[in-house]
Amino acid sequence: MTAQTTETVSITSAAIGQFGRYLLSARTNHFISDQRVAVGGPGEAINAGELLLSSLGSCSLGLIQKTAKEEGIALREAGSEVSFRRHATDPTQYKWIRIVVRLSGVTAGEAETLVAGFTANCPIYNTLKRGGPVGISWTVS
């Protein structure tokens, strides 16, 4: 049985003087994110949609490797490609999000077990799949 954790995870973000460019900080890790060129941003650094896809890719591989280790499955290699398409008439939605997982050194049944380890345990995947709750608040100074 895995231990349940209720830790709160936070990042900070700040506009840094160039339109469409932001400094993101997670613990002691700092990086730049840009708005897409299509909406007036610089488009050089990773953008918000790509960060979302990256989080799914990272969560998928981490949980697949964890499941392989726990189940004694000899996973040789793992990779994923995550993509989305924006909805044609409602740009506030994705028409679809797809995750393609590539595994080697395992049987089809083992692959199913590994992918199930991801889909059953990744809060990012499951929140997106269910359309989970998102709250927002603001302050003015």
Q: What is the pLDDT of residues 32-65, one digit of tens each?
A: 999 999 999 999 999 999 999 999 999 999 999 9
Contacts of 9 by beta carbon, 8 Å cutoff, 6+ apart: none
* CA 40 – CA 59 distance, rounded (Å): 30
Topology of the domain covering 47-133:
GMP Synthetase; Chain A, domain 3 (3.30.300)
Q: What is the mean pLDDT of residues 5-9?
A: 86
Is a pLDDT exceeding 60 seen at residue 1?
no
Are residues 33 and 48 in contact, defined by beta-carbon separation less than 8 angstroms?
yes
Q: What is the pLDDT of residues 80-128, one digit of tens each?
A: 999 999 999 998 899 999 999 999 999 999 999 999 999 999 999 999 9
* CA 34 – CA 1 distance, rounded (Å): 41
Q: What is the pLDDT of residues 77-87, one digit of tens each?
A: 999 999 999 99
